[in-house]
Chains A and B, each alone.
Chain A
Amino acid sequence: MTKSGRDSYKDELTSLASHNEQIVCIEADLGGKNHPFQQQHPDRFFNFGIAELAGIDMAAGLAEAGYVPFFSTFASFAALRASESIKLTMGYMGKNVKVVAAYGGVSGGWFGTTHHALEDIAVLQSFQNIRIACPYGERETRRVIQEAASSEEPYYIRLSRNDVFDSLLREEEASCREMIVEGEHRNGLSRLCLVSVGEQATELCQRIIQEDDSIAHAHLCYIDIQSLKSYTEQLTALSHRFLVVEEHRATGSTASYLALLLPKYEIYSHDCGEQWPIYGGTHTEVLTFLGFGYETLKQQIQDILGGTADDF
């Protein structure tokens, strides 16, 4: 049975820690009871309680001493509440800390705006030198955790709540740094390339290209600035026109940075707009309220390409 990103993280880290004694798991009272890491490696599991700034700074001290600390909490509390700790320890000083942030975007649904994070990528991207990953589904999440554990770079890994997805197919040894392309035209450029970031976005893009094979789809797992720069050559071989689909504000989004990297190309954004998500509902319902979803995406594509929505 496929696991959610959050459960995949716990499971994979617990497994990795059996072979890597430097891995330390830190929670801020949001890891849940019966955490598998705590059960299997109790001497390397710490619930520091509701203290996100201290938790990340302490993780930096552990990293300096040679450990590989993974610190997990919700995205809003990590990227926003503890943003200065991340800026200083991980960005400026490059300490080997891995922040795993669940509840990315509005995956918290009815829990409300305090538990949403539509600004985290903008904040993290502005810090420089931090790897930012938004894995899609269980396999990709596990792979990202493996890559983070074996890297000396600081990581911010954005996960959702409990949604479950099958990751896109990737070659066995391929890094998640490599983009996955679907619907690539063998002859010439596609009239539009969708660029997906995150779980809901990737799901939407897959659905669109199944209905219109004239559109390509590039799935990005890593979206830090260095990774985005590495994609440009491959992206521009796909199309001259890109629509980035990302569960985030437009400001500081992947679309906004790609627009800076590719000034001669058309870059559009399907994002969560400008409203505050004040109503309850499921993850999908809150996204719909914010104008993010299948129907609005389909309409946006039609507006970009011209013609009617039924054309594709």
Chain B
Amino acid sequence: MEQTIPVQSIDIPLLIERAKEARKLIIDMASAPTGCHIGGSLSVIDLLVGAYARYYGDPDTVIILSKGHAAAALYATLHVYGIIPDNPTDSYGEEGSLFTGHPNHKLPGIPFATGSLGHGIPYAAGWALAQKMKGTKGLGIVIGGDGELQEGLCWETAQIVQAQSITNFVYIVDCNGGQNDGYVEDISPIRNLRQRFEAFGFVVKEIDGHQLEDIVASIEPHPERPVAILARTIKGKGVAALEGNPESHYAKIPKKLAYRWKVGLS
């Protein structure tokens, strides 16, 4: 049975390459006839690549992407790790394809279909509780969005996690500052986020959500408390035309533009 990979043995330059490869796949999915949620996919991709680098192969740990609109990022990550052999860009969004616009639980490596925001968080918490009952070292790891925190279900879960002392739970928030209709700050600001999570008993870490070394080091359980990782990210990260622009939430782009964006990835 494979075990969790120690931080020091993780090849960070390789992860950076994997993240770049995944970004190219995301851009290609944006050039599919359907387009995709490109902005949030590019912001969360380093978090996904880092989480899988640490815990892929640990049967007792689950990694859930709760901000399911970033499905392109999840498919790309699972493909670069070989969990999904088929290239998602070959059929993304097409008739008969399992690569739907939000994560499809019929695909390998996706135990839970997210997309309706909030639901992935309690699912991961339930998995964590199960591992606690079994006495394994497994974790429930969930990656959500900052806009998603407007859903009460996130905080319902934080309340239960605290009340049930579910300490093998890691909640990563992709703080890209955007949501469907604009900036989180303009629509329903999530202020004092550190204090909010601390009030629910979480140990809070704040990181740069694009520094893979920091990411892999931070996704660690605390022996006595659940962990919240507030990852500062940039919506559309890697594509200059998209970075920080809430209009990048969803895009359908021509193939030629996709080519230019892939060549110009920073």
Contacts and interface: CB of A to CB of B under 8 A. Distances in A.
A52 to B, nearest CB: 9
A130 interface: no
Interface string B81-115: 00000000000000000000000010000011100
A54 B156 contact: yes
Given A53-B156, A64-B111, A58 B116 contact: no
From B116, B122, B130, residue with most partner A Cβ within 10 Å: B122
A88 interface: yes
Nearest to A87: B116
From B113, B130, B159, residue with most partner A Cβ within 10 Å: B130
A55 B126 CA distance: 8
A51 B156 CA distance: 6
Nearest to A82: B153
Given A49-B163, A88-B119, 4 more contacts: A58-B160, A61-B123, A67-B133, A92-B105
A60 interface: yes
A61 B129 contact: yes
15 contacts: A24-B133, A51-B160, A53-B153, A54-B156, A57-B153, A62-B126, A62-B127, A62-B130, A65-B127, A65-B131, A66-B130, A84-B116, A88-B116, A92-B105, A93-B105
A67 B132 CA distance: 12
A278 B119 CA distance: 34
Contacts of B163: 48-49
A58 B131 CA distance: 12
Interface in B132-175: 133-134, 140, 153, 156-157, 159-160, 163-164
Contacts of B134: 65
Contacts, number: 92
B133 A43 contact: yes
B15 to A, nearest CB: 27
B257 to A, nearest CB: 35
B124 interface: yes
Interface residues of B, number: 29
Contact of B123 (A48, A57, A66, A84): A57
Given A44-B133, A84-B116, A60 B123 contact: yes
Interface of A: 24, 43-44, 46, 48-49, 51, 53-55, 57-67, 84-85, 88-89, 92-93
Contacts of A59: 126
B70 interface: no
B128 interface: yes
B171 to A, nearest CB: 13
A54 B164 contact: no
A44 B159 CA distance: 19
B160 A49 contact: yes
B125 interface: yes
B153 A61 contact: no
- Across the A-B interface, the 8 shortest Cβ-Cβ residue pairs: A61-B126, A65-B130, A58-B126, A57-B122, A61-B127, A54-B156, A54-B122, A51-B156
A226 B194 CA distance: 49
A51 B164 CA distance: 13
Contacts of B116: 84, 88
Contact of A48 (B62, B111, B118, B164): B164
Contacts of B121: 54, 57
Contact of A58 (B105, B113, B133, B157): B157
A67 B130 contact: yes
B157 A60 contact: no
